[in-house]
């Protein structure tokens, strides 16, 4: 086995430079409107495309680009690491270009480059799923507010802190967040968020059991970029996170319909439909007006963000990977794309990577292991919920 020492200290230093630069970009926060309450009120009043307002960028994209250019990836001796770092630098360059043109037409073109288009096959899958799963009735049970969910999230993090005392993730309710999201390893909650009681555990496993756990594990690796995320990691991360909802027993028909509707909304936006039209189509599909606004906002923010199409695509591909006998353990090493698995396995076999410090808590439940074992080569996302759940 090749020893870790065979990676030059200078190679590891370059990895850390790139990881630090990646972590300094608050991409999702910076492309999300900060006036959501006012925008929703305006739209409810006049039905016109809302005027979204965005906060100041955390850092000047030109400054970050200068930092990127100064990182000497060409000097990396290890070929596998050089390929990983080069791909990530290109992704960061795309994100910085997008931040420069928030609210302009070019943003959408760059978003398609970053997240990929909605293929006819993916659109067909989403439409077929919507045809097979009827619009559900009202959500059962009560909802909890942002402050209560924040307390539950802190309690969940405490369980991980008992295993890894250096865990620094924190929970924050903040106005510039949308719904519930993880940014650079921290859980951010919008003050207007209301989480259905029966969805609480599933959401905790999505955000903390997947996004924060992999961020922490990746940040503890000798290759720190696994904490920030390798290029293209979003799709697989979201697929894993939705799979976590299933394994934790909380993936519902409403949730799966939501992922399919996001795909359709992204497609409609990309083909030129307006905000009011996409919103109206969602309402006709059985979505509440409030949720329809949220989905449409997520798709149209900053000029057209296509990220929401990756959830269903990522879930489909992760389910296929598991059904083909793929092992989930590799994904706990950090944030990576499914296509990175072979080279990450090779790096681990070389001794370059270490065992994860955390494993998702839900995996310790016998029910989760039974659900995982039930995924076969024939399993598709619809099989994870049953048409009436």
For the stretch 70-86, pLDDT in tens is 999 999 999 999 999 99
Give me the pLDDT at residue 7, please. Answer: 81
The span from the first CA to the last CA of the chain, in angstroms, equals: 48
Give the residue among 328, 308, 339 at the shortest CA–CA distance from 233.
339
Query: For position 178, what pLDDT does the model report?
Result: 81
pLDDT of residue 139: 59
Q: Find the DSSP H helices in the chain.
A: 9-23, 27-30, 36-46, 61-70, 79-100, 106-115, 120-132, 146-161, 200-206, 213-219, 225-228, 233-247, 253-270, 275-284, 289-300, 310-323, 341-349, 366-373
Which pLDDT score is estimated for 110? Answer: 98
State how far the Cα of 239 lies from the Cα of 221, in Å rounded to an integer.
22
pLDDT in tens, 188-201: 999 989 999 999 99
CB 218, CB 334: distance < 8 Å? yes
d(CA 18, CA 85): 7
Where the chain has pLDDT below 70, the residues are: 1-6, 138-141, 386-389
The structure tokens listed for 383 are 């099989």
pLDDT the model gives residue 3: 42
């Amino acid at each position: 086995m090749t020893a870790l020492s065979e990676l030059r200290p200078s190679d590891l230093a370059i990895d850390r430079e790139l990881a630090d630069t990646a972590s300094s970009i608050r991409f999702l926060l910076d492309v999300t409107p900060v006036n959501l309450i006012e925008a929703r009120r305006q739209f409810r009043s006049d039905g016109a495309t809302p005027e979204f307002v965005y906060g100041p960028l955390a850092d000047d994209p030109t400054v970050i680009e200068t930092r990127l250019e100064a990182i000497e990836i060409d000097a990396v001796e290890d070929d596998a690491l050089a390929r990983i770092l080069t791909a990530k630098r290109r992704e960061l360059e795309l994100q910085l270009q997008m931040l420069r043109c928030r609210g302009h037409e070019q943003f959408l073109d760059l978003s398609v480059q970053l997240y990929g288009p909605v293929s006819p096959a993916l659109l067909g899958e989403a439409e077929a799923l919507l045809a097979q799963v009827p619009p559900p009735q009202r959500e059962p049970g009560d909802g909890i507010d942002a402050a209560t969910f924040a307390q539950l999230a802190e309690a969940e993090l405490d369980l991980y802190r008992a295993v890894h005392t250096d865990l620094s993730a924190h929970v924050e309710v903040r106005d510039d967040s949308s719904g519930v999201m993880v940014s650079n390893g921290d859980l951010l909650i919008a003050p207007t968020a209301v989480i259905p009681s029966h969805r609480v555990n599933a959401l905790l496993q999505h955000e903390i059991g997947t996004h924060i756990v992999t961020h922490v594990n990746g940040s503890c690796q000798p290759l720190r970029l696994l904490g920030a995320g390798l290029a293209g990691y979003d799709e697989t991360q979201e697929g894993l996170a939705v799979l976590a909802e299933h394994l934790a027993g909380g993936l519902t028909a409403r949730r799966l319909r939501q992922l399919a509707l996001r795909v359709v909304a992204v497609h409609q936006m990309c083909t030129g439909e307006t905000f009011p039209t996409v919103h109206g189509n969602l309402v006709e599909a059985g979505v509440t007006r409030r949720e329809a606004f949220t989905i449409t906002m997520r798709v149209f923010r900053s000029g057209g963000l296509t990220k929401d199409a990756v959830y269903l695509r990522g879930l489909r591909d992760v389910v296929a990977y598991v059904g083909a006998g793929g092992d989930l353990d590799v994904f706990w090493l950090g944030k990576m794309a499914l296509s990175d698995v072979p080279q990450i396995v090779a790096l681990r076999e070389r001794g370059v990577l270490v065992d994860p410090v955390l494993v998702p808590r839900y995996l310790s439940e016998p029910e989760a292991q039974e659900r995982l074992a039930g995924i076969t080569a024939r399993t598709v996302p619809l099989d994870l919920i049953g048409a009436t759940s």
